[in-house]
Amino acid sequence: MASEKTQEWFSVAINLVKEAGQVVRDAIKKKKNIETKSSAVDLVTESDKAVEKLLIDGLSSAFPDHKFIGEESVAGGEKCVLTAEPTWIIDPIDGTMNFVHSLPYTCISVGLWVDKRAELGIVFNPVLNQMFTAIRGQGAFLNGERIWASGQKELSQALVFAEMGTSLDPVKVDTVLTNITTLMPKVHGLRAMGSCALNMCQVASGGMDVCYEFGVHAWDMAAAYLIIAEAGGTVVDTEGGDFDLMRRRVLCAATPELAAAIAPLLKQYQPQPDGSCN
Per annotation, catalytic residue among 52, 163, 213, 220: 220
Q: At residue 4, what is the residue type?
A: E
Per annotation, catalytic residue among 96, 106, 234, 255: 96
DSSP class of residue 156 equals G
Q: How far is 49 from 144, CA to CA, in rounded Å?
A: 28
Q: Are 204 and 231 in contact (CB under 8 A)?
A: yes
Per annotation, catalytic residue among 28, 48, 52, 71: 71
Q: How far is 66 from 8, CA to CA, in rounded Å?
A: 14
Per annotation, catalytic residue among 28, 90, 93, 147: 93
H helices within 131-216, ranges in order?
A: 170-183, 196-204
Residue from 164, 238, 226, 165 nearest 200 by CA: 226
Residue from 159, 167, 161, 146 nearest 230 by CA: 146
DSSP string, 87-128: EEEEEEEE-HHHHHTT-S--EEEEEEEETTEEEEEEEEETTT
Q: How far is 93 from 159, CA to CA, in rounded Å?
A: 25
91 is catalytic: yes
133 is catalytic: no
DSSP class of residue 193 equals -
Nearest 10 degrees: Cα torsion 190, 152, 234, 41: 10
Per annotation, catalytic residue among 91, 209, 230, 274: 91
DSSP class of residue 277 equals T
71 is catalytic: yes
Per annotation, catalytic residue among 48, 52, 72, 94: 94
Q: Are 240 and 135 in contact (CB under 8 A)?
A: no
242 is catalytic: no
Q: Just list the catalytic residues.
A: 71, 91, 93-94, 96, 220
